[in-house]
Amino acid sequence: MGWQAEAGIYVHIPFCRRKCFYCDFPVLAARREATVSRYVDALIREIELWGEQMQAGWLASGRSGEAGQFVSLYLGGGTPTYLNSSQLLRLLAVLRQHFPLTPDAEITLEANPDRESLTEEKLAALRAAGVNRLSLGAQVFDDGYLRAIGRDHNVRDIESAFILARRAGFTNINLDLIFALPGQSIEEWQLTLERALALQPEHLSCYSLIFEEGTLFERWRAQGRVDPVPEETELKMYELACNLVSAAGLRQYEISNFARPGRESRHNLLYWRYQNWLGLGAGAHSHWGDRRWANLWPPGRYEDRLQEAILPIDTGTELSLSIEEMMEEMVIMGLRLIEGVSGQEFARRFGRSLDEVYGDTITRLVGAGFLARTPEGRIRLTRRGLPVGNAIFAEFLLTPGSLTT
Ligand code: SF4
């Protein structure tokens, strides 16, 4: 396989001031400074260890390509801005020292729009250190709903964080929004969209609330204390977002993501185009060539392993992907994109055409109006297929071993 993948780095900062009621991410709430500082030290050890591995050619040994340079660095969480400026700057410096970033690499920082963790000085220092994209967890422009979902900021905080970020020189800002909150009406969602668009962000992510297992919201749903919005309302909310956001000049490029031309998230495109990414930090996931793994969780286990100067990989999660699994994943991730999946890219990667593997499925879904073929040989979801993507993705699962010859 002569195909060369692009690569990105994800760094997980697992701290938040408190846990939001709907959140199932691996995060710890309200940790002491000493805990955070111990974690940062461990993270730096991990970066250095990977730096050594890279020099030894480890990342270049993946079956599907060579390491090359990294086009994206993403500091996510959790709340990366829970770290102070000097911790963040130290991390960025060590990352740059050990991982070759392309000159135009996208460097994203996720941030919570609260006054405590997001100050003008911190934003200016990070911008000066090369962070060129900010992703603000706004969620909803309504103080009542922000409280109801357990966020620790209010609408004024979002707006002032946005203004501070612009003042600090950020010209590429994403706002994360959530809709279909219990009790939320379509009109209320429209107000959130309008206030978000009034700030003129370069990028908008709109996800519907999922009642994930293990969250407070899921427990409350089971107890009948909160009710999901009806499915038809959720669908209308989704369609409203697609229409309003597109009318404001942000092109929909993925099921839930919109951007001004050229401002699509390069990092998330790596996931959707099924490229390589290395996840650093406790619980972070990686995908490299035909391998997948996760780091140890919780941070105590992760830090202990690094104390022994061993990469903190949870060996129980290490997988060598079969050809069928990689094909499925590439198609399912790629169909999330409005551009869809490239037949050429698929053939280059796997040595078989999309039609050889999925011909019947594609013909059936095109006939039913959920899928379209493009003149350039791509397959993509239609307007009708987009809202029911999950059901369509299931059609692309392959029988294990079916393609092994
Ligand atoms: S801020 Fe984000 S990561 Fe932290 S608890 Fe809330 S949803 Fe989860």
Cα–Cα nearest to 260, from 171, 368, 349, 365: 171
**DSSP label at residue 169:** T
For the cut 70, the answer to whether the pLDDT of residue 3 exceeds it is no
For the cut 90, the answer to whether the pLDDT of residue 193 exceeds it is yes
For the cut 80, the answer to whether the pLDDT of residue 30 exceeds it is no
User: In angstroms, what is the span from residue 7 Cα to ligand 1's centroid?
Assistant: 26
Long-range interactions of 379-383: CB distance < 8 A, separation 24+: 379/335, 379/340, 379/341, 379/343, 379/354, 380/335, 380/337, 380/338, 380/339, 380/340, 380/341, 381/255, 381/335, 381/338, 381/340
Facing residues of 131 across strands?
none
Q: What is the mean pLDDT of residues 167-178?
A: 98
pLDDT at 60: 60
Pocket lining: 23 vs ligand 1, CB cutoff 6 Å: yes
Tell me the helices (H) and strands (E) count for the chain, helix number first: 14, 17
Buried b (16+ CB within 10 A) or exposed e, 190-224: eebbebbbebebbbbbbbbbebeeebbbbeeeeee
Pocket lining: 77 vs ligand 1, CB cutoff 6 Å: yes
For the cut 50, the answer to whether the pLDDT of residue 1 exceeds it is no
Pocket lining: 25 vs ligand 1, CB cutoff 6 Å: yes
pLDDT at 237: 98
pLDDT at 67: 52
pLDDT at 54: 82
For the cut 50, the answer to whether the pLDDT of residue 403 exceeds it is yes
User: In angstroms, what is the span from residue 209 Cα to ligand 1's centroid?
Assistant: 13
Q: Write down the domain spans for the chain.
A: 7-271, 327-396
Q: What is the DSSP string of 89-104?
A: HHHHHHHHHHS-EEEE
User: In angstroms, what is the span from residue 190 Cα to ligand 1's centroid?
Assistant: 23
**Count of beta carbons in the 10 Å neighbourhood of residue 156:** 11
The CATH number of the domain covering residues in 7-271: 3.80.30.20
Question: Closest Cα to atom 6, ligand 1: which residue?
Answer: 20
Q: What is the mean pLDDT of residues 168-180?
A: 98
For the cut 80, the answer to whether the pLDDT of residue 161 exceeds it is yes
Alpha helices in 149-262 (DSSP H): 155-167, 186-198, 216-222, 231-247
**Count of beta carbons in the 10 Å neighbourhood of residue 325:** 16
pLDDT bracket for residue 120 (50, 70, 90): very high
Pocket lining: 137 vs ligand 1, CB cutoff 6 Å: yes
Q: What is the mean pLDDT of residues 52-79?
A: 75
User: In angstroms, what is the span from residue 74 Cα to ligand 1's centroid?
Assistant: 16
Q: What is the DSSP string of 320-355?
A: EPPHHHHHHHHHHHHTTBTT-EEHHHHHHHHSS-HH
Q: What is the mean pLDDT of residues 10-25?
A: 95
pLDDT at 399: 77
Phi, psi of 203 (to 5 degrees): -150, 145
Question: Closest Cα to atom 3, ligand 1: which residue?
Answer: 78
pLDDT at 2: 39
CATH 1.10.10.920 matches 327-396: yes
Pocket lining: 19 vs ligand 1, CB cutoff 6 Å: yes
Atom of ligand 1 nearest to the CA of 16: 4
Q: What is the mean pLDDT of residues 129-137?
A: 98
Question: Closest Cα to atom 5, ligand 1: which residue?
Answer: 19
How far, in Å, CA of 361 to CA of 358, rounded?
5
Chain-centre distance for alpha carbon 252? 16
Tell me what the pLDDT averaged over the chain comes to.
Answer: 94
pLDDT at 55: 78
Pocket lining: 78 vs ligand 1, CB cutoff 6 Å: yes
**Count of beta carbons in the 10 Å neighbourhood of residue 257:** 24
**Count of beta carbons in the 10 Å neighbourhood of residue 283:** 21
Pocket lining: 113 vs ligand 1, CB cutoff 6 Å: no
Pocket lining: 17 vs ligand 1, CB cutoff 6 Å: no
How far, in Å, CA of 198 to CA of 291, rounded?
43
% pLDDT > 70, the chain: 96
CB of 365 closer than 8 Å to CB of 395: yes
Pocket lining: 16 vs ligand 1, CB cutoff 6 Å: yes
Q: What is the DSSP string of 381-403?
A: E-TTTGGGHHHHHGGG---TTTT
Q: What is the mean pLDDT of residues 20-48?
A: 94
CB of 323 closer than 8 Å to CB of 38: no
Residue with tokens 């609408």: 155
pLDDT bracket for residue 65 (50, 70, 90): very low
CB of 172 closer than 8 Å to CB of 133: yes
Helix, strand, coil percentages, rounded to 5, for the chain: 40, 20, 35
Lowest mean per-residue pLDDT among 26-40, 99-113, 390-404:
390-404
pLDDT digits (tens, 9 = 90+) for 280-296: 999 999 999 999 999 99
Pocket lining: 135 vs ligand 1, CB cutoff 6 Å: no
Whole-angstrom CA distances from 36 to 17, 151, 398 are: 12, 21, 43
For the cut 50, the answer to whether the pLDDT of residue 64 exceeds it is no
For the cut 90, the answer to whether the pLDDT of residue 194 exceeds it is yes
For the cut 60, the answer to whether the pLDDT of residue 277 exceeds it is yes
